Chains A and B, each alone.
Chain A
Amino acid sequence: MKKLAAILMALMLVLSLCACSASTTDTTTTETATEPETTEATTETTEIPDISLTLWGSELTEFQDALRVMADSFIAEYADEANITIEIGAQSESTAKDTILTDISAAADVFYYADDQTGELVNAGALQPVENADAIAEANGGYEAGGVQAASVGGTLYAYPAMGGNGYFLYYNKEYVTAEQAGSWAGLLEAANAAGKQVTMQLNSGWYLYGFFKGAGFSCSLADDGASTLCDWNTTGGTDVVQAILDITADSGFINLDDAAFVTGVQEGTIIAGVNGSWNAGTIQTAWGDNYATAKLPTYTLNGTEVQMGSFDGYKLVGVNAYSENVGWAMRLAEWLTSEDNQIYLYEATNGSAVPSNVNAAASESVQSNPVVAALATQSQYASAQSLSVGGNYWTPTETLGNILANGNPDGTDLQQLLDETVAGIEAAVG
């Protein structure tokens, strides 16, 4: 009995020791915070840290190859300060947000993304504010420049402008369409009907549909909460714009196609003109050869007068993940990737698809002579930036409106009611 009691007492002691040690461990789950590197700095610098970074960029082969080259040059440049390894993954810029927001801490340290995602990424806390914002802004044309505005929210710069020219303009095949016809939708449709082919634009997308309304003087803007949208499309004259669009879609020479179908149509020869962006320039140029031509967006007929279409400006930006463990190094990498020299390198490596946003790089000879850049430059006076204009709830209702118009308003809904419902959806509070 005594032995038993002794054993039991011993066990109780062990148990209480267990409990004590447990309560001194961390209570809340926190991120591993700073490990002061100051101690390393004071010791002899034979001890350089190992840094590993992940980089995401477009999956296109030329792009991936170019990224690898730029990453290796970065590693070589800083070899004396750190052992850097950079892993490059393929993530299309247009869907970067989807992959990142599911789990921000598992996303890459540095990533390319399209500027329409800036607002949502900032709201989710995924973007690290740029450290030397003034220098970056200056290199890209100052705080008023489109690219810098596309990367900023509330005056703070959150990303590094990498590529401009992500807006849209008109491609046309000189074999079937003259330059004059390319100036207006009426001319384009005329050319299409004469050649028995079609011209296209993607109407069921808020990105493209915006052009019609902006050209006519309507606008969208961000509400005070920074997430919702204010929109005036359903005020006087809105129905005229809708009617003008319906007139275009009624013509058999017009077809509503999405991006991939547009390229397929060009390659198969069924499309002779279309509104699209710089990312397909290479493919289209290969398909049309010497007949390849670009221009600003055409005008459309509104109540008998010709009105120039507006558009959205588009930029591709490099963001730094705010949850990255090596934020400082990630920012250095981002700055390296978007430096003037590297932007020129990327432009050449991708055969002109990656139009630089850096002011000096964009001013170079080879860039200026690119027909895509010329078209965008002409169109840019009518363009506005997405991040300033539209919030989260803009996209789905406009997609629906565009779809209805592309199908010719099959239910015969009253146009004003259509606009009212769309605007109600756009202006609905987010969340």
Chain B
Amino acid sequence: MNKREHDGKRLFLPVRAVKDWLAGDVFVKLTPLLWGAGYIRRRQFIKGFLAILFECVVVLFSISYGFPNIAKFGTLGTVKRATVYNPATLKNEVNQYDNSFLILLFGLVGLLVLAVAVVILMRIVTEARELQQKDEQGVHINTFREDIRDLFNQKFHITLLSLPSLGIIVFTIIPLIFMILVAFTNYDQQHMAPTELFTWVGLDNFKRLFNNSLSETFGYSFGKVLGWTLVWAFFATFTCYFGGIALSLMINNKRTRVKKLWRTLFVICIAVPQFVSLLLVRNFFADTGIVNTFCSNAGITDFLKSIGLVGQYLDHIPFLTEAGWAKFMIIIINFWIGVPYLMLIATGVLMNIPTEYYESAKIDGANALQTFNRITMPFMLSVTGPYLITSFIANINNFNVIYLLTQDVYFTMDTKLAASNAKDIDLLVTWLYRLTNDYYNYKMASVIGILVFVVCAVFTLVAFNYTFRKGREGRFQ
């Protein structure tokens, strides 16, 4: 006679809670007021005490932080900060002002705390009703020690996941929701808390993305940056992938000597932290840097000028300062960094290909190219397929390479991009970072962040559908 299950499925929690509350005895009915009532009646004193403690904490928090800020959530504050300097005390006297940022943050946290508290309360009510039924039926009710033991057995997942989840909620989920909300406000350099107030503007920021004029260039910039981001992710992923495979094939060849030495030499390049190696390479390829000196002395610059790859006005190769060259160099330098990494992974996979395949291919008279096409590549693709997808999505967000190589040296020549603080070689994330860090344009940065999410989500879905289908067709045979 389990009213809680309906056709074998459990009812939705709020519905269950209300039903249980209505059907419960006086202590169950008392529970929403005093959360430990149900437990205490059934002699689960410690649990009851903990429940009441939790209730106190929630109430305290809501009254001191939650409700005041939730009340102002609609306007995000109305009282601007004003100070009067008092020469007698040598301090500023400040009024009771509203800090829009903190109102948004604490309002959000307050709402979340309330939501969580309501869910927990519903759980407590249903448990109280369960306990009541157990009591009436004479079923054994857990002591505290038995509950604890459960937490290390059937309910171990709760123990395991509680701390990591807390960390994720506080440091990822809350900030994320906060920044998504910011996309609907006008929080930027002209509206910086605590001095200024900012408020909701609805979808205005998103509308700016569809504007395209000389002064409102966000739409134009977004299109260009998105385009380059996708092109870059494609090239970065696949050049490194095939480069890594080629390199590992060469090193793994049976007749290659001192394999470990070769591998170590290549690994040294990636072991140097990226912010050292990339900043170094930026200086290496600077307009007046050492590579350019070498190229001018060797006549390479003049040669490139004669075939038109270098502008006539320049007497150096603009490796990282001109749009076309910079894009090319970025892909090359990423190749430099990425190939050793892929080589290691490819080596690991190659070593696991059963040698029988190769031997039988040899007996059948296959040459090197056929072996590669029919055996090596399919095996490689099936094992590292998922890695390829995650790598593509990771490259969409590959901040380090672009930022470290171009930040202080690359200036755009596109006035429309410049008007929205973007550069031709920017990825969406580097543009986002620049808007946040240098121009305090948090609202547009949030809009871009949301769009990055949409782009990545689309690709993830497409990719997973594709591999899912392929997986069903049968694996490497």
Contact = CB atoms under 8 A, between A and B. Distances in A.
Interface stretch (A160-168, A321-329, A372-380): A321-329
A428 B56 contact: no
Given A400-B418, A410-B322, 7 more contacts: A11-B34, A15-B52, A101-B192, A124-B195, A227-B190, A397-B418, A410-B311
Contact of B190 (A28, A38, A411, A430): A430
A424 B215 contact: yes
A19 B63 CA distance: 8
Contact of B286 (A261, A397, A410): A261
B40 A8 contact: yes
Interface of A: 4, 7-8, 11-12, 14-15, 18-19, 22-23, 25-31, 33-38, 98, 101-102, 104-105, 120, 123-126, 128-129, 131, 204, 227, 249-250, 252, 255, 257-258, 261, 264-265, 270, 322-329, 392-393, 396-397, 399-404, 407-408, 410-411, 418, 420-422, 424-425, 427-431
Given A8-B40, A400-B418, A124 B192 contact: yes
A427 B190 contact: no
Nearest to A264: B288
Nearest to B61: A22
Contacts of A7: 40
- Of the listed residues A12, A270, A326, A407, the one surrounded by the most CB atoms of chain B closer than 10 A to its CB is A407
Interface stretch (B250-258, B337-345, B368-376, B409-417): B409-417
B40 A30 contact: no
B37 interface: yes
A410 B324 CA distance: 12
A421 B416 contact: yes
Contacts of B63: 19, 22-23, 25
B56 A8 contact: no
B315 to A, nearest CB: 6
Nearest to B312: A408
21 contacts: A7-B40, A8-B34, A15-B34, A15-B59, A18-B59, A19-B63, A27-B68, A28-B98, A28-B99, A30-B94, A35-B91, A101-B189, A125-B192, A327-B90, A327-B92, A328-B87, A397-B415, A403-B413, A407-B313, A408-B312, A431-B189
A104 B59 CA distance: 33
A23 to B, nearest CB: 5
B88 A399 contact: no
A120 B89 CA distance: 28
Measured as residues with beta carbon below 8 angstroms from the partner, the interface class of chain B is: 35 or more
A11 B413 contact: no
B160 interface: no
Nearest to B189: A431
Interface of B: 30, 33-34, 36-37, 40-41, 52, 55-56, 59-60, 63-64, 68-69, 81, 83, 85-94, 96-99, 102, 106, 188-192, 194-196, 214-216, 286-288, 311-316, 318, 322, 408-409, 411-419, 421, 437-438, 440
A86 to B, nearest CB: 16
A400 B415 contact: yes
A421 B413 contact: no
Contact of B91 (A28, A249, A327, A407): A327
A128 B86 CA distance: 12
B27 to A, nearest CB: 9
A307 B99 CA distance: 52
A430 B216 CA distance: 11
Contacts of B34: 8, 11-12, 15
Given A98-B438, A131-B87, A410 B96 contact: no
Nearest to B59: A19
Nearest to A268: B288
Contacts of B30: 8
A11 B412 CA distance: 68
A409 B362 CA distance: 60
Contacts of B318: 407
A248 B438 CA distance: 32
Contacts of B188: 431
